[in-house]
Every structure is written in structure tokens, then in C-alpha cells.
Amino acid sequence: MGGSSTRLYSDLTPTLSSSVPPSLHTEDSNLDPDFCQEQKGSPLCPPDPVELLRQCEEALRDRAPRLHRKFTQLTDGDSAPRRPIRVMQWNILAQALGEGLDNFVQCPPEALSWSRRKYLILEEILSYRPDIVCLQEVDHYYDTLQPVLAGLGYSSSFCPKPWSPCLDVEGNNGPDGCALFYDQTRYELLDTSNIRLCAMRIPTNQVAVVTMLRCRTSGRCVCVGVTHLKARSGWEWLRSAQGSDLLRHLQTLVQKQDSSSRDVPLLVCGDFNAVPSEEVYRRFSTSPLSLDSAYKKLSEDGLTEPEFTSWKIRPTGECCTTLDYIWYSPGALRVDAVLNMPTEEQIGPNRLPSFSYPSDHLSLVCDFSFKEEEE
């Protein structure tokens, strides 16, 4: 992964330095263990995100070209907010599943190593600098994502699956789950809940994190949820039940917070493991909470989801489908920009994951603003 090293944030998160590939440990290495020291969990010198991004890119300099994606701007410069609410939704692929159970037949084993994937994951987040990050299949929360992003000013919540399939993989790093990160310089935490989703009142293995945030400058509140519903065909009924349970929790939290007639806007991100024709999608699109899917904004008619958010090859064949969504409250929030999907040529014939991209799911990134800001 390159002959010369970069200054890695070794004290901020020991896993990053301890598993740096041997090719990075050269005599002329400029690894600096004092780059960012922590004392009692609070960084003495928070790392510069631009510098950390540069370091990730340097560590990955021998890889294939990155999937460069551009934003589609939906508002003109005059009506765009000074600083939008940037939201990322991403199933990052649990390390234990990628190496142990998912069986990506066209992906070289070296591309699935954590020593490489962690830089690709951090690079993706650092490239877009979202204010709110919603992740699924997180099995390196405590040793990598939480300490690194905390050093950049993010607070977070993590909810592991009670029976995570990662635990069946030898050498696993613990259960995978959902994680929600937010920029604590912009948002104040009002409430958060870790939810085990139910179907017909029976607890399931799928979870959600729901958080109520208040903007420190405007005082406006927003309720953010992240979830990961049951995978595989044949389980459509369970996904529908889990989605209904999540909608009930969201309505309860919003009503608990909002004492006025104006509803608190919602942002609900997730890998729903459901195509747009499924019942759970219909439940969200017709819910009394009045939600809409932000990525429909990329279509010409504004009514159609992208052709794919996940593209992989397994022994059973090639799977190119839309499973991931960012739902929002169109009555209170405006979509200002949406990150485009890469082309088939950019993804490449072996599909995802790959040396240039760490997951079988593509990240979704949207810029939102409160509609009052445009008046």
C-alpha cells in the first residue's frame, strides 16, 4: 500500500497504527505517534479532517482510481442555504461478513482486508464531511470509527444486533449493528433510543437508532433514525412489520418532543433490504408521517428511485438493485443537493466491493435545509 508512509493518527485509534500494512513501516516513515494524543477521552489536538483525508489517500495510493461522484444541485446559488444539513447513509459492510460469509466471488481477498478497508471507509466519510452519518453493518465501532470520528467532533450512538451473524465468523470483532454520528459543534442531543425492532410484538434481530437533535444556531429540532432491516428474499413480510414498528417509534418520539402544532421533521436512513416495489417501501411512502425518498430527486420525473444502490456478484449470480434510502419530511425540509451514483464503467466489471471501494453498498449523501431558511 505504498512505499512511504503518512502520519497516521495512531494514538487516536490504536487499531489504525497497529494494523498498518508492513509496506508502510519503512525507514523513512514519518509516522508520528504524537499526531493526536488523547487524555481521558478528550483530544488535546483534534486532527484536521483535511489532513486525515490526505493521509488515507496516501495510504491507499497504489489502489485503483476512486469512484469520483458529483453532486446534483437542486437549488440555485441564491436560494441555497449558507450551510446545509449534509446527511450520509451507508451500509459499510461488516468486516466479518465480507471476509467470512458474503462470498463476493469476483473480489480479491486482499481487497477485503481490514488493513485496507478502514482507510477506504474513512476516506469516503472524510471526503463528504457529513453533519450526520448513518451507518449499518458496523463491527469496528469501538476500536476505529467511534474514536476517529470523536476526534473530529462527532458524538455517536451504537446499537448492535442481538444475534449478529458476525459472531459466527472465526476471529470476529464482535457484533455488527447500526451507528449514528452527528457533529456536536452543530447539534445538541435531546434524546436518543436504541430500538430492537418487533414483528407482531415479537422482538427480531434487527435494530434501529433514533436520535432527536437541536441545531445550536437556529434552535430547530430534527429527528434522525438509522436502521437495517431483514435481508434476503422470502422475508418481505418481516421487513414490512419491522418498518411499521419503526414508524410507530418515530411517531412516538416526535410527539414526545413537539408540544406545538408544527411537527418535528424526520430524516430516516437505512439499508431496508427492500426494492421500491415492496410493501415496506409503500408503508414509508404512505405513512401519516408524510415522508418522501430524497434520492428520487435524481430522476427526471422526480418519482423514480435510482437503478441501484448495491451491485455485487455472489455464487448465485449478479445482483444490481436499490435497497438503501434517505427518507425525509418534505413539508419542513428541502433537498438542496444529491450525490450522484457512479456509472457501470466506474464500478467496473467485478462490481463491489473492490480495491477502490470498501462495500457492496454505495453511500448516499444529501444536503437538506429547513424550508423557513429560504423565506
Flag whether pLDDT at 62 surpasses 50: yes
As a whole number, the mean pLDDT across the chain is 86
Phi-psi region of 201 (alpha: psi -120 to 50; beta: other; left: phi over 0): left
Residue 77: per-residue pLDDT: 64
What whole-number distance in Å separates Cα of residue 29 and Cα of residue 236? 52
The answer, yes or no, to whether residue 100 has pLDDT greater than 90, is no
Mean local confidence (pLDDT), 298-324:
95
Q: What share of the chain is helix, strand, coil (3-state, %, to 5)?
A: 25, 30, 45
The answer on pLDDT for 373 being more than 50 is yes
Structural domains of the chain, with CATH: 14-59 (no CATH), 74-374 (3.60.10.10)
Following DSSP, what letter does each residue of 230-252 receive, concatenated?
PPSTT-HHHHHHHHHHHHHHHHH
Q: Which of 293, 324, 288 is nearest to 309 (CA)?
A: 324
Cell numbers that stand for 264 in this block: 418535528
**CA 129 to each of CA 49, 102, 132, 191: distance values in angstroms, whole numbers, following the listed order:** 8, 29, 9, 23
Q: Which helix (H) or strand (E) holds 117?
A: helix 114-128
Q: What is the mean pLDDT of residues 122-127?
A: 96
Residues 222-247 have pLDDT tens digits of: 999 999 999 999 999 999 999 999 99
C-alpha distances in Å from residue 92, one per residue of 31, 40, 50, 188, 372: 27, 29, 21, 26, 34
Burial of 31 (0-12, 13-18, 19+ CB in 10 A): middle
Report the share of the chain in percent with pLDDT over 70: 84
Q: Is the pLDDT of residue 27 over 70?
A: no
pLDDT of 47 above 80 = no
